[in-house]
Amino acid sequence: MFHTENGVLGFGGAPAPGDEDWDLINAGKTAITLKPGAAFFHHAGSFATVRGGHLDVAILGVYQLAENGDLVNWSTGPGGVPAVGGAMDLVHGAWRS
């Protein structure tokens, strides 16, 4: 069962091109599908799941890791807010990253 940081539990693969529902996205803003029994919840509950150690495996995004495997910190440009997404929470809260 897959969980996404923005509060979807039980999502499936990407929809076919042209079948996207842009109200159904993962934390990377990629369109997703839902599996039977999927659930939606606030991102605070999502991070409580992560921080509480309730994930077996964390899959990090490309902007969360450097070429050498280090966690990264980046900015969206002048005036932007530095961010790593949920990487720090994910690597600490999951059993494996």
> pLDDT tens-digit profile of 40-90?
999 889 889 888 888 898 887 776 778 887 877 666 677 766 665 677 788
User: pLDDT tens digits, residue range 14-34?
Assistant: 999 999 999 999 887 899 999
CA distances from 94 to 10, 13, 31, 86 (A): 17, 21, 24, 12
Quick one: pLDDT band at residue 12, thresholds 50, 70, 90?
A: very high
* pTM for the whole structure: 0.71
Cα torsion angle, 37, 90, 42, 17, sign? negative
> What is the extent of the structural domain holding 25?
1-41
90 near 3, Cβ under 8 Å?
A: no
Nearest to 73 by CA among 65, 48, 31: 65
Cα 41–46–13 angle (5° rounding)? 80
* 10 is a domain residue: yes
Cα 62–4–35 angle (5° rounding)? 125
Domain count for the chain, please give it.
Answer: 1
Please give the positions annotated as active site. 5
* 9 is a domain residue: yes
* 16 is a domain residue: yes
